[in-house]
Amino acid sequence: MITVHHLENSRSQRILWMLEELEVPYDIKRYEREPTMQAPAALRAVHPLGKSPVITDGERTLAESGAILEYLADTYGKGRLKPAPGTPERIHYSYFLHYAEGSLMPLLLLRLIFNRMPDRLPFLLKPVGRAISAGANKTLLDPQFANHFAFIEGELAKREWFAGAEFSAADIQMSFPLEAAAARAPVVRQMPRISAFLDRIHLRPAYKRALEKGGPFELMK
Ligand SMILES: N[C@@H](CCC(=O)N[C@@H](CS)C(=O)NCC(=O)O)C(=O)O
């Protein structure tokens, strides 16, 4: 039996969704974030990095969202949710499985850090923190977001889903950075195809079932 070590409001929501799409039975072990927003130490007993998602499947322990999604598609997919090897779709699939965490998420994490930095400073330093944060957002991050969102919008103009005409695990992987973008770089909602992608995934029955099982899912600004 698969166990998903599920941290509230986190990337592990994607794994619940994948399992719901595949209709594979699983258990959920829940973890709450510390007041610092870090994962609790208990997760380090499952995997040395102590991050979520992690799954266990029998004797196997697996971390890293993209690797978990690939493992689930390969092991339980029966050909579903991943394009056949050697096809153009498979190349897009692989690209977006990596791009989501390798290129897009670091920018969204930086945004979160700069947004929250002023709150963490002593009262008298807050104006300085706010100025640094505003400067970094404007000169460093906003141009990056404009570039990435235009790129993603262009990709979705060529194909209905990230890999091709069929929904795949690459769409599940891309959902988290795009949901985080909707919270932290709301200009993303002005991109018609990205916005339609978000609306479309929210309507999927498996997405809704995963939300019911995973609990509230609200990403920080
Ligand atoms: N690239 C990893 C990132 C894992 C990660 O940073 N997870 C976050 C949850 S969204 C986490 O565990 N944060 C708590 C912490 O860093 O203590 C993946 O996609 O699985």
Instruction: Provide the pLDDT for residue 218.
Output: 87
The residue nearest atom 6 of ligand 1, judged by CA position, is 51
Instruction: Provide the pLDDT for residue 216.
Output: 84
Task: With H, G, I as helix, E, B as strand and everything else as coil, classify residue 43.
Answer: helix
Closest C-alpha to 70, from 104, 53, 94: 94
Kindly report, residue by residue over 140-175, the tens digit of the pLDDT. Answer: 999 999 999 999 999 999 999 999 999 999 999 999
Cα 7 to Cα 11: distance, rounded to the nearest angstrom? 8
Closest C-alpha to 172, from 100, 106, 121, 115: 100
The residue nearest atom 9 of ligand 1, judged by CA position, is 10
The pTM for the full model equals: 0.96
CA 162, chain centre distance (Å)? 14
Pocket, ligand 1, Cβ cutoff 6 A: 7, 10-11, 38-39, 51-53, 64-65, 101
For residue 9, the ligand 1 atom closest to its alpha carbon is: 10
Concatenating the DSSP letter of every residue in 69-83 gives HHHHHHHH-TTTTSP
Instruction: Provide the pLDDT for residue 93.
Output: 98
Instruction: Provide the pLDDT for residue 220.
Output: 87
* Tokens coding 170: 């690459």
Low-confidence ranges of the chain (pLDDT < 50): none
The residue nearest atom 16 of ligand 1, judged by CA position, is 38
Instruction: Provide the pLDDT for residue 217.
Output: 87
φ, ψ of residue 65 to 5 degrees: the values are -50, -50
User: In one letter, which amino acid is 111?
Assistant: R
Residues 20 and 67: beta-carbon distance below 8 Å: no
- Could you check whether the bond before residue 53 is cis, i.e. omega within 30 degrees of 0? yes
For residue 39, the ligand 1 atom closest to its alpha carbon is: 17
- Choose which residue among 5, 9, 11, 16 to substitute to test ligand 1 binding: the one with the highest number of ligand atoms within 8 A of its C-beta: 11
Could you tell me whether strands 54-57 and 26-31 are parallel, antiparallel, or unpaired per DSSP bridges? Answer: unpaired
For residue 53, the ligand 1 atom closest to its alpha carbon is: 20
- Choose which residue among 31, 51, 61, 71 to substitute to test ligand 1 binding: the one with the highest number of ligand atoms within 8 A of its C-beta: 51
Instruction: Provide the pLDDT for residue 96.
Output: 98
